[in-house]
Structure 1
Amino acid sequence: MKKVRLSKCSISEQEKHAVLDVLDKEYLGMGSETMAFEEEIAAYLELPASHVASVNTGTSALHIAISCLGLGEGDEVLVPSLTYVASFQAITAVGATPVACEVLPDTLFLDPSDVERKITKKTKAIMPVHYASSSKGIEPIYSIASKYNLRVVEDAAQSFGSFRGNTKVGSVGDIICFSFDGIKNITCGEGGAVVSSDDAFMSKIRDARLLGVQKDTDKRFSGQRSWDFDVEEQGFRYHLSNINAAIGRVQLRRLDEFREKRQNIAAVYSKSLSGLNGIKLLSFSYHEIMPHIFVVLADDRDRLREYLLKNGVEVGIHYKPNHMLSKFSTGESLPVTEGIYSKVLTLPCHIDLTNDEQEYVMQLIGDFYE
């Protein structure tokens, strides 16, 4: 039986050699490789290096961003329910309350009308999620944030390498959080980054990722440690190691290769499945985004899922809505989100997916709906 993987990283000999170089130098923690990775991300985004701070995971990026905004108990953050649990956990980790919102049915992006309905005196921030790598529809969210004086923390975990029009995702906005985990558009093995032009905020981020030790980033980047220091704010052990940064630096150089492959996969799926009864495609511009996942809305989703799994095709469900999880349930119903959840299905999409494997997936889906 064929075995088609849902997702995977793509590691070449270049990444392996980069890691071995770090091991040979015997300086494995945060240092010059981390600094270079941040500078290269900033150069890609056409930003000053001070606007980028790497961390050890995308979840850490969200958590540390919320923390450095000073949010805590009694504060509320508006967030789509249809997202990975990391978005909600990052909010509750500081004691704040995530307020689950609906998504738009064509893009599964945060619904601005529901956001505005749920703003209260406790609301301090909005966390739009770049669902399936797309941030189409984010402009109304920023308009609402400006109207009510709210901060925006973009959960851009899936969309590094994507564009909005001619603008690179991450190059503009309030606070943008990326993930570089094992299966994202580029990987560090594990990693993430916070991007913002708010200099005071970014200074807090750089200290907070090193347990709040002031100015320790500069020391680490020069291969030193801080011995006589002060700590004024809550901090975390969230810094990125030289090993992870070395992988990320090579992956960043391969970004155009990765984008072309992922966009081609999306284009093939879109052409093949667009006229198929039982499948609805999301309203994305795949020539702009770099698709981390390829999601469709499928009639009889659960039976189709079992059929594909039975025939060796891994598929996913992105995501179980957070308001349906015990920790975050308030008893409120989100009918649009719940209806979408019954249909979302993620098809294989990764750099090493072969043409034959993709053709096999599409053939199975076509056979199922005959």
Structure 2
Amino acid sequence: MIRLSKSVVGTEEVEAITKVLLQDGYLGMGKEVDLFEEEIANYLGVKRSSVVCVSSGTAALHLAVQAVARQGDEVLVPSFTFISSFQAISASGATPVACNIYKDSLTIDIEHAESRITNRTKAIMPVHYASNPVNLEKIYRLAAKYKLRVIEDAAHCFGCSYQSSKIGSFGDIICFSFDGIKNITSGEGGAIITSDEKIQSLVKDARLLGIMSDTEKRFSGKRSWDFEVVDQGYRYHMSNIFAAIGREQLKKLDTVFAPTRIKLATIYKELLCKNSSIAIPVTEKKAYIVPHIFPIRILNGKRDEIKQYLEANGVQTGIHYKPNHLLSLYSDKKTKLDVTEEIYKEILTLPLHPDLKEEDIYYVSELINRYLGYTD
């Protein structure tokens, strides 16, 4: 079976975990997390204080929203995203406002988002779908016009760049995911990147149950016993075990993971781009993209047939994603997102991870082209 996605780890990660387990003797948040944050900061070229590691990408989004929005506030977000984006907003007491997407890039439709702004709108959450950071200048101009915070859901985008600057090295609040199948993994984990010192302080405390200034003590191997709490917090800190994995993964990103993902995605494009029954999302020309997933659109109504055909021939596929406004929790009968709903019926994600071989990509592409009656 050719897997859709998988974690790719080696002896280096095993040895790093073993060191934490057998030598360091402390598994919670401590020195390894401190070092991982420092190394991420160095990689992105930002101040050390700008990086806050947490237990997941969802936790990163949740804390970011909580830091800028309150009960009853609204956050603009594309409906075409994983549920974590919406859950992070609603968990903060704010309301996710579902926005349409552009048909070509599958990213937030800025004009539609602007039409949904009210006096309760506090932030916009663009999702860099399939590692594609599109229209960032327009998004930030919109935010400036209406005095909104920008929370970039960059879960797919670690290692990517925009106008030669790494995602996370600029902008307002950027949230990454390091779960098992992302561009790098820490097993589970995520990070918030921001130069806003107030936000830094809020999220650092909130990840440790709201205990004020506990981060510094944890990093020095101590705990706060006589402490103060003034804001809602959560048990969202990253562990030393996860940070140890992430540190080893970060070393491999630019030398192994990124080149492999880019090469495999390029082969897919070359083999599928001439098939008139397929549309490949348009990527941002100003960006350097390390693809986390490889979605295509099946334009002839045969998406489900092809999915079943590929599964029958040993190829896993996915559907990224079911629009959130179609879920019961976020259902809004007044909201009709025609483009989003059309794309949902067409989208199919093909296998992509660094353990795939080039012959796997040729095999998958040949199956698709053959089923659709395309021959080069």
TM > 0.5 fold call: yes
Q: What's the CA shift for 1:277?
A: 2.1
Asked if the contact 1:19–1:243 (Cα under 8 Å) also holds between the matched residues in 2, the reply is yes
Q: Deviations over 1:216-238 (max 9, x none)?
A: 00000001111111111111110
Asked if the contact 1:277–1:369 (Cα under 8 Å) also holds between the matched residues in 2, the reply is no
Q: Name the residue aligned to 1:305.
A: 307
Identical aligned residues as a percent = 53
Q: Name the residue aligned to 2:353.
A: 350
Q: Deviations over 1:226-280 (max 9, x none)?
A: 1111111111110000000000000000011100000001100011111012111
Q: Name the residue aligned to 1:269.
A: 268
Q: Name the residue aligned to 2:28.
A: 29
Q: Name the residue aligned to 2:337.
A: 334
**What SS class does the counterpart of residue 268 from structure 1 fall into?**
helix
Q: Deviations over 1:184-210 (max 9, x none)?
A: 000000000000000111011111100
How does 1:2-13 map onto structure 2 within 5 Å? Answer: 3-13=1-11
How does 1:182-201 map onto structure 2 within 5 Å? Answer: 182-201=180-199
Deviates more, 1:287-296 or 1:125-134: 287-296
Q: Name the residue aligned to 2:319.
A: 317
CA separation in 1, counterparts of 2:161 and 2:106?
Answer: 18
How does 1:183-332 map onto structure 2 within 5 Å? Answer: 183-256=181-254, 257-284=256-283, 288-299=288-299, 300-331=302-333, 332=335
Amino acid aligned to 1:315: T
Q: What's the CA shift for 1:103?
A: 0.5
CA separation in 2, counterparts of 1:119 and 1:306?
Answer: 41
**What SS class does the counterpart of residue 78 from structure 1 fall into?**
strand
**What SS class does the counterpart of residue 186 from structure 1 fall into?**
coil
Asked if the contact 2:133–2:284 (Cα under 8 Å) also holds between the matched residues in 1, the reply is no
Runs of 4+ in 1 over 4 A off after TM superposition: none
| Aligned pair partner of 1:159 in 157, 160, 180 | 157
Q: Deviations over 1:156-200 (max 9, x none)?
A: 011000111211011000000000000000000000000000011
RMSD, aligned CA: 1.0
**What SS class does the counterpart of residue 75 from structure 2 fall into?**
strand
CA separation in 1, counterparts of 2:187 and 2:199?
Answer: 27
Tell me the TM-score normalized by structure 1.
0.98
CA separation in 1, counterparts of 2:232 and 2:320?
Answer: 33
**What SS class does the counterpart of residue 342 from structure 1 fall into?**
helix
- How many residues align structurally? 367
| Aligned pair partner of 1:360 in 348, 363, 366 | 363
**What SS class does the counterpart of residue 175 from structure 2 fall into?**
strand
Asked if the contact 1:211–1:235 (Cα under 8 Å) also holds between the matched residues in 2, the reply is yes
Amino acid aligned to 1:139: E
Asked if the contact 1:161–1:259 (Cα under 8 Å) also holds between the matched residues in 2, the reply is yes
**What SS class does the counterpart of residue 295 from structure 1 fall into?**
strand
Q: Is 2:37 the partner of 1:38?
A: yes
Gaps (5+ residues) in structure 1?
A: none
Amino acid aligned to 2:117: I
Q: What's the CA shift for 1:136?
A: 1.5
CA separation in 2, counterparts of 1:120 and 1:66?
Answer: 17
Asked if the contact 2:80–2:322 (Cα under 8 Å) also holds between the matched residues in 1, the reply is yes
How does 1:78-227 map onto structure 2 within 5 Å? Answer: 78-227=76-225
Q: What's the CA shift for 1:285?
A: 5.1
**What SS class does the counterpart of residue 315 from structure 1 fall into?**
coil
CA separation in 2, counterparts of 1:56 and 1:135?
Answer: 24
CA separation in 2, counterparts of 1:72 and 1:136?
Answer: 28
